[in-house]
Amino acid sequence: MKIVMNLLVVAVVAFFAYILISLYIRDVKNKKIKDDITSNGVDTVGEITQSYGRSGGNSGFINVTLSFKYEVDNGEVINNSADAVINSMDVQKYQPGEKINLRYSRTEPKKVILDIPNPLLRRKKG
């Protein structure tokens, strides 16, 4: 019975270690992509085609998924989407038809960073 319990404990610890390592690797990859886009990306302006909001609780912020289209250097129009957190007072800025600043990867134009100020950082300054 003691062997079974030890195996169970080892399995649980290994499972949690796997999860933590997987999350770390994913975060490192995402940071590398974001750093590449920040340093070598192309700035452009896109047009919001759809906006889906989800409650941010009672924090005054809203989680949104923005669908948008933008034109890359070769003239191709790309439809894409990304998640962002916005201040609930700024909802009108993120409606279909509105413009949004973004930066896309020169080598993989589907990878983008939206130029939306972090509402938490803005709040601390004021």
Domain CATH for 113: 2.40.50
Instruction: Clarify whether residues 57 and 118 are in a common domain.
Output: yes
Residues 19 and 33 in one domain: yes
The answer on 26 and 68 residing in a single domain is no
Whether residue 107 is found in the same domain as residue 58: yes
Residue 29's pLDDT is what?
A: 95
Question: Is residue 84 located within the same domain as residue 121?
Answer: yes
Dist CA 71 CA 94 (whole Å): 19
β-partners of residue 21 are: none
Residues 56 and 111 in one domain: yes
**Residue 28 and residue 61 share a domain:** no
Question: Residues, the chain, total?
Answer: 126
- Please report the pLDDT score of residue 123 as a whole number: 52
Query: How many domains would you assign to the chain?
Result: 2
**Phi (first) and psi of residue 10, to 5 degrees:** -60, -40
Same domain, 49 and 91: yes
- pLDDT at site 70: 97
**CA-only gyration radius of the chain, Å:** 20
Residues 32 and 59 reside in one and the same domain: no
Residues 15 and 60 in one domain: no
Residues of the chain scoring pLDDT < 70 = 56-58, 122-126
Structural domain for 88, as ranges = 42-125
Assess whether 5 and 66 both reside in one domain. no
Helix (H) or strand (E) holding 102: strand 99-104
**Does one domain contain both 51 and 29?**
no
In the block, which residue shows the tokens 């759809």?
Answer: 50
| pLDDT attached to residue 119 | 75
